[in-house]
Every structure is written in structure tokens, then in C-alpha cells.
Amino acid sequence: MKTIDDTLINKIIEKTPIIVEALHLKRSSQKLISQYLLKFIFCYSNYEFEPLCELSVFLPDTKNKSVSEFGLPNYMFNDDYSTSETLTIDFVNHHELLKDASEELFLSIFEPTPIDVIFRINQSIVSINKYLTNALKKKDEVLVMIPFDDTFMLFMLVLAVSNVPNFAGLVQFLNRFLQEQILTNEQSFALSMMNSIYELYQKKK
């Protein structure tokens, strides 16, 4: 199969409605069909994600700073172990859900397609939000929805601890082969989170 190029995602978006109509499928199935086509093409191509061979860890000094430097709300420290002076790496690794979130991010670099990568990233965010929900319950606080800033801060810390070898390259890979038209709401949020943190990364380099 030919090497994958930048026009792939546009071709998939263009052809998917034709496939859906030909097979008499519901229009709501277009995103699923698009994702299947993208995964199929990647799995049978000779595409290699070369940027991951480079070393560019996301803000490597972050994991050895105390969490107090990131302005985390008090409710996040929901046990006797974690305080505002706890190092980021210890804070993440001590809490099972945050550790799981960190591992999901690291495992994303081994996935063969951008759909699988964004799935891992979304799973990481799910684990972070579970941690935040549990922390709120322990403080007897109830929120209609978890504040974006809280999820963003924890995601940044989890990412720093994950040791993803080339964060910038990973974001570029996702943006090269994914578009909003084929993503679920959750996947779209995960991509937005990665892009927001990438902007922060660029400013702090």
C-alpha cells in the first residue's frame, strides 16, 4: 500500500457519506465508518511515526516540583499522604487512578493508529475525572460538572510523569490525521486538551 500522506483524512471524510448511502446505513454511523477506514488503512500501510524516535519529554522538570506550584484546589488532597508539598511524581504515582491515567498516556505511543492513540488519551482523562469526582465526594462537595481547569491541571501533571518521549510530535501526529468530523465528543475533547497543553508547552520551552 502507498505511504500515507496529509490528504488521507480529507479523502476519508469525502468518501464516507458515499459508503454510508451505498450500504443504506444511518447518517449517525458516519463517524464510526470514518474511524474504521482510518484504522484499516493505517494497519495495512507502511507508515512510520518518525517524530517518536526523537526525545522531547513534556516539561521534564515538572514532575520533580511540589504540587503547590500548580495551584491545585485543596479538595484534590483527599488523604493523609498528599499535601501541597508532595512532589508531582509522588502525587501521581501514589493515587491509583492518576497512575493509571499516566500509564494510558505512555501506552498511547505504542498504538498503530491515531484513533487508538486518541482512545488512550480519552481513557486517561476518564481516570482523571474519576479521581476528581471521588475527591469531591470525600469533601462532601457536589458539582454539576468538573471544572475544566481542574482536569487541565491534573492532565498536565499526569502527562509530565508519563514520560511520553515526544509530546510535541504526538500532538502533531494527531492533528495531521484527525479532524473534528470523525471524532466523538469525548475524543474531540481529548484532542482539544492535547492542543491546549501543547500551546502551554510552546510558551514554556
d(CA 129, CA 150): 9
**Average pLDDT over every residue of 67-85:** 73
d(CA 72, CA 19): 48
Prediction pTM value? 0.86
Q: Are 128 and 158 in contact (CB under 8 A)?
A: yes
d(CA 157, CA 19): 42
**Average pLDDT over every residue of 44-69:** 68
Which pLDDT tens digit goes with each residue over 149-162?
889 999 999 998 99
pLDDT at residue 147, as a whole number:
82
d(CA 201, CA 9): 26
Residue holding cell 502525587?
Answer: 91
Three-class SS of residue 72?
Answer: coil
Classify burial at 36, counting beta carbons within 10 Å of its beta carbon; exposed 0-12, middle 13-18, buried 19 or more.
middle
Which pLDDT tens digit goes with each residue over 35-45?
999 998 888 87
